[in-house]
Amino acid sequence: MELFLERGFEETTVADIAERAGLTKRTFFRYFADKREVLFAGSEVLVETFVNGVLEAPAEAAPLDAVAAGLDASAAIFEEMPDHAGRRQSLMVSNPELQERELIKMAKLGAAVAAALRERGVAEPAAALAAEAGKTILRVAFERWTEDPHGQDLRALMRESLADLRAVAAAT
C-alpha cells in the first residue's frame, strides 16, 4: 500500500513490492497472481462474513433485513482498519483498472448474497434485487465512510443508506 501511494499504482512493479516485503518475485507470485491482487486480498473474507450475516439473520427477517444483517457483519472487517480502507479507496478512485477489478469483486459478492437469500427461501427476482441493493448500500456507505473513517460509524452509514433506499422505494 505504501509503495502504491508513494509511486502510484502503475509505476509500482511486482519487483518493488517483493523487495519492500523482503521477498523474491517468485515468492510474491506464490501468494498473488498480480499486483492488483495485493489490494484485493481478503475479499473472500468479506463475502463469507456478509453471507454468514445473511444466513444467521432471524428466520422471519424480510430479505432486506437479512441483507442488513450481512451489512452489519461486514462492517466489522472495515472498521478494524479504517486508515487502510481509506488509502485503498483513494487508489481505487484514481485507477480504472482497479475499478474494473472492484466491480468483479462486487459482482461475486452480489451472487453470493443472492444465493444465501435463496437458501433462506427468498424467491427470484426478490433475492437478486435484495442482493443488488445490499451491494449498493455497501458501496455508497463505504465511500462516505472513507472520506472520514474516524468520523461517523460505518454501520450507522449503512443503516442510513438502507433507510434512504426504503424511503425512495416507498415514494414511488
Q: Name all domains of the chain by residue range, CATH numbers in brackets.
A: 1-40 (1.10.10.60), 42-171 (1.10.357.10)
d(C-alpha 158, C-alpha 115), whole Å:
21
| Cα angle: 119, vertex 107, 3; to 5 degrees | 130
Q: What is the pLDDT of residue 18?
A: 92
Average pLDDT, the chain: 92
Q: Which of 50-54, 65-69, 153-157 has the lowest mean pLDDT?
A: 153-157
Evaluate if residue 50 carries a pLDDT over 70.
Answer: yes
CB 134 within 8 A of CB 71: yes
Q: What is the pLDDT of residue 149?
A: 65
Evaluate if residue 172 carries a pLDDT over 80.
Answer: no
DSSP symbol at 151? S
Evaluate if residue 135 carries a pLDDT over 90.
Answer: yes
95: left (phi over 0), alpha (psi -120 to 50) or beta: beta
d(C-alpha 45, C-alpha 59), whole Å:
24
Instruction: Say how far residue 109 (Cα) sits from the centre of its chain.
Output: 8
Q: Which of 41-55, 119-133, 137-151 has the lowest mean pLDDT?
A: 137-151
pLDDT confidence tier of residue 5, bands split at 50, 70 and 90: confident
pTM over 0.75: yes
